[in-house]
Amino acid sequence: MPTLVQKYLLACLLLFSLSSLTTANSKLPEPPAGILKLDAYQAPPILLTDIDGIKYNLNETKGHWVFVHFWASWCGPCRKEMPAIQKMWDNLKTQGLKIALINTAEDEDTVFNFLGIYAPNIRALMDRDGQVTEKWKPRGLPATYLVDPTGQVQYQALGGRAWDAPTYLNFIKSLIK
Amino acid sequence: MTIKNNLFLLTTITLLISCLLITTNVHAESKKRYQFTNKEIRVGITPRSPQQMAAFYEGRGFSNEMINALIQPCFFTVGIHNKTSDILWHDLSAWKFTNSNGEIKHLDRAYWKNKWKKMRIPLAHQSTFRWTLLPEKLDFRSNEHEGGNIILPYSKNKFTLQVAFKTKKDKSGKLIPIKIENIQCQR
């Protein structure tokens, strides 16, 4: 049987843990319009290969914020958004942000031709049968999530966003600082 | 004038008339759009012809067998914009399409999943197809736009669409009803 002192210490420990969690969450900045703050949840796994066949595992990016983006070449808003992602990436890639640019269920030729035009400097991950995309349950395509350094999904963008605009750049900078 | 010159003139005129007819047809197709809009919501419906759908899915590498299945029913591309400052609940099962013969059920994801499974369609094509469909359910956030296709069994009769969207996080807000009449399948 725990003594009264032990019970008191246990209660203090529990309270401390809860307050730490709340503080960690409240430290996250309020997102700009078009980005939702989610009730954080563990990111579904991403185990894919890129267009050159090199393996990618989302788990290996722990310690960094990750910009997870799902797209397809046939989707109009994806075409519109991709150049902004390229500019955002050019701006932030040396500042600690990681990116997972996931093509949903298309082939290498389509992806190669598309990215050559819209985002030539970003490594494309191939979700060849679309099953990784399914697990993330996006609202539609394009879909963007921001995953925190512990692997929790914290934010979701609604549709395509002008990621190279100061509002969004500054928001992502405030996360990775 | 020689026969050669006459033939050249005839060919030129035929080509010009063909171009004019094609242009007119494209404009006629793009004009067929149905819309409901008020200060709370905008719902737009654009009928798609079998040729448009076949061209789109051929471009994605779909097999002839799959395309043949897709050009039989009626395709409508639907766009929804939540103009309220609250959540607007979309639930495709609440959409009522009716025509002179009564209610028409849309061909939902389960229908297509079953069909593709029987036809042994590759997962990649099934996935692409699913992403072109309007979501079955979605909590539209303030100012969110989303869209996708709705597929109905073919009918030459005109449809009426009626649906009421629930609002607020707990769905307790006021209902937003919409009605769009005289929707027609594109053939």
CB contact under 8 A, B124 and A72: no
Interface test with B, best of A78, A129, A136 (most B CBs within 10 A): A129
* CB contact at 8 A, A160 and A79: no
Residue B25: pLDDT band with limits 50, 70, 90 = very low
pLDDT the model gives residue B21: 41
If you measure CA to CA, which chain A residue comes closest to B127?
Answer: A130
pLDDT tens digit string along B88-99? 999 999 999 999
Instruction: Please report the ipTM that was assigned to this predicted complex.
Output: 0.81
Higher-scoring residue by pLDDT: B35, A15: B35
In 3D space, the residue among B111, B107, B115, B93 whose CA is nearest the CA of residue B163 turns out to be: B93
Q: Does B13 touch chain A (CB under 8 A)?
A: no
Residues of chain B with pLDDT > 70: what percent? 83
> pLDDT-based confidence at A27, cuts 50/70/90?
confident
Which residues 62-121 of B are in CB contact (within 8 Å) with A?
A: none
**Rounded to two decimals, what is the model's pTM?**
0.83
* Residue of A129, A130, A158 lying closest to B144 (CB–CB): A158
Note the pLDDT of residue A2: 61
For residue A103, pLDDT beyond 70: yes
The mean pLDDT of A1-25, rounded to a whole number, is 54
pLDDT of B27 over the 50 cut: no
* Encoded tokens for B110: 């389960």
Query: What is the rounded distance in angstroms from the CA atom of residue B141 to the CA atom of residue B138?
Result: 9
The DSSP secondary-structure symbol of A81 reads H
pLDDT at B32: 82
B123/A129 CB distance under 8 A: yes
User: What is the percentage of chain B residues whose pLDDT exceeds 90?
Assistant: 82
B61 dihedral zone (left: phi>0; alpha: psi -120 to 50; beta):
left
Q: Where are the alpha helices (DSSP H) in chain A?
A: 4-26, 76-92, 108-118, 131-136, 166-176
The pLDDT score that the predictor gives to residue B29 is 46
| Residue A38 near residue A154, CB atoms below 8 Å | yes
Rounded distance, CA A102 to CA A1, Å?
54
Mean pLDDT in residue range B163-170 = 97
pLDDT band (50, 70, 90) for residue A37 = very high
Report how far apart the first and last C-alpha atoms of chain A are (Å, whole number).
47
pLDDT, chain A, mean: 90
Average pLDDT over residues B3-11: 58
The verdict on a CB contact (< 8 Å) between B124 and A159 is no
Give pLDDT, residue B23.
38
